[in-house]
Amino acid sequence: MPQHLAHVALLVRDYDEALAYFVDILGFQLLEDTPMSPTKRWVVVRPPGASEAGLLLARAVGPEQEAMIGRQGGGRVFLFLRTDDLARDHEQYLARGVRFLEAPRDEAYGRVVVFEDLYGNKWDLVEPRGM
C-alpha cells in the first residue's frame, strides 16, 4: 500500500501571524485555510515546488500547548527544508529578516544552515550534494 506523510502539525500562537511568516517571509504556498469553528481553522502551507507533505499550522489551545510553541523539537533542529539553491534562499531569507544561527556550512550530505522560525523552532535549510 503506497503511503506518504501528508502533514506535520506545528503549534502556533495565531493563524494570521503564522501565515504572514510562512507565506510572506519563507515564500510557502497557502494550500488551505478552512474555518472549522469560530476559533479553529484548518490551515495548511507548503514550500514552493513541494507536491506532497504540508505544514498544518495548529493554533495552540490551553496552557500546556501554548508552553510548547517553539519547543516542539526539544531544542534540536525539528524541521528540514530542502532547497535546490541554498545561497539564493539564504540571501532572500536574510533580506526578509529570518534569524540564522550560523553561517552556511558544508557537510558530507550537502550545504546546510540552521535558522529559527518566528516561534524559535529550529530548521535546517539543506541543499543536498549533487543538486
Percent of the chain with pLDDT over 70: 99
Place of cell 500547548: 65
pLDDT for 131 beyond 80:
no
On the question of a common fold for 1-69 and 71-131, the answer reads yes
φ/ψ of 23, rounded to 5, equals -85, -50
CATH architecture of 1-69: Roll (3.10)
Domain boundaries, given as residue ranges, for the chain: 1-69, 71-131
Please, are residues 110 and 124 in contact by the beta-carbon 8 Å criterion? Answer: no
Residue-wise pLDDT tens digits, 50-71: 888 899 999 999 999 999 999 9
Q: Rounded to the nearest 5 degrees, what angle is found at the Cα of 20, between the Cα atoms of 18 and 23?
A: 100
Residue-wise pLDDT tens digits, 87-100: 999 999 999 999 99
Per-residue confidence (pLDDT) for residue 2, from 0 to 100 = 84
* Antiparallel, parallel or unpaired: β 54-59 and 7-12: parallel
Mean pLDDT to the nearest integer, 105-120: 97
Match domain 71-131 to its CATH number in 3.90.1560.10, 3.10.180.10, 3.30.413.10, 3.40.50.12160. 3.10.180.10
